[in-house]
Structures are given as C-alpha cells and as structure tokens.
Amino acid sequence: MVAAMSKAAEPRVAWVLTGSGHYLKECMEIVKGLSGVDLFLSEAAGEVLKMYGYDLAKLKDGMKVYRDNTASSVPVTFLYGGDYHTVVIGPASSNTVAKCVAGISDTLATNIYAQAGKCRIPSIVFACDTAPALISEAPGGDVWVYPRPIDLENVGKLAKFEQTTVVLSVEELQIALDQRLGCPSTSSS
C-alpha cells in the first residue's frame, strides 16, 4: 500500500453503501444525522440509490461521496492516512458479505472492509440478510425476501471476524455506532 500519510486532524466515519435496497432508507437516515462521515459507494450502490430516489449530486453537498470507478479502489488510501476511526458497511448486500467472508476485495466496498482490517480500524457491518424471511421495501413496493441458508451462514461467519461487529437491526447499529463515536480510537484492540 503506497500511502504514507500524515494523520488526519479529526478522524471520521467511512460509511460504505452497497447495492442493498433493504435497510437503505434506515441507513441513510442515520448517515444524515452524523456530522463526520464520508460515503463510499459500490457500483451497485450508485445504481440502487437512484432507484430509491436519492440524488447523488445533493448527497455530495453535505459530505464527500466516493464512487467505485478505479480498479485499485484508490479511496482506500485514506484509511492509511488516519482519516477514519470506524468503517460502517450498511446496508451490506449478500454479495458484499460473501466476498468479505471469502477474503475477496475487488470492489470499493469489499476493499474498504479488507483494508480496514489491515489497518486495524473497527468495522460495523449491517447485513441485509437478517432472518430466513423478511419484508423488504423494493422501489415498486414491499416484497417478501427469503435469504438462503448460504446468505445467513455468511453473516454468521463474518460476525466471527476480528475487528468486526455484525449488527442485525437498526437499534443494534445505532448502539454499535454510539459506542464507536464515544470512543473513536482507530483500533479496538
């Protein structure tokens, strides 16, 4: 990793959005209430946000928004500069969770998670697959979703990873975030 980097004055939250529509609105509400936060979008997140009515140009007014448009996930270098004390991936799609469990880092979302681990920056992951059956808000209205055993297994596996807190509800997410904001060191170890 190239980045040599002076420590940022006030570390922030790196909030990663994936292509999960489930819990997107709830996560965006929390993001809006935070003062020190930057957004990192997977390619799918860039598409899905628009489908759920979010205007990326407006989001950029209030915070930095990094899109997934480089092969090497250039924005991950900021993690090495001490710019972020916490990574939140919320909502985390089945795809991103599966890749994180497999140690794959080929998108901005999965790269932020992998590089956060290598920098010992704690990550909070709000998985979209929270139960064997759930109602999800699709762009056209509510739909039933039945996460597969492999999806739920992956969520359970990720919860055992170091520097990682997996949360399964908005309430758990808020508690985990409050804990980090109350004690924002760059490492939980």
Residues that bind ligand FMN (CB under 6 A): 18-22, 42, 44-45, 48, 51, 93-96, 107, 109, 128, 136, 139
Whichever of 85 and 173 has its CB closer to ligand FMN, that residue is 173
Q: Nearest to residue 90, comparing CAs of 71, 74, 112? A: 112
**Number of residue whose CB is nearest ligand FMN:** 19
Whichever of 20 and 164 has its CB closer to ligand FMN, that residue is 20
Q: Distance between CA atoms of 109 and 73, rounded to whole angstroms?
A: 9
Whichever of 11 and 98 has its CB closer to ligand FMN, that residue is 98
Beta strand 12-17 with 37-41 is parallel
Instruction: Name residue 6's amino acid.
Output: S
**Total number of residues shown for the chain:** 189
Give the shortest CB-5-to-ligand FMN separation in angstroms.
Answer: 26
Q: Distance between CA atoms of 172 and 151, rounded to whole angstroms?
A: 20
Give the shortest CB-86-to-ligand FMN separation in angstroms.
Answer: 20
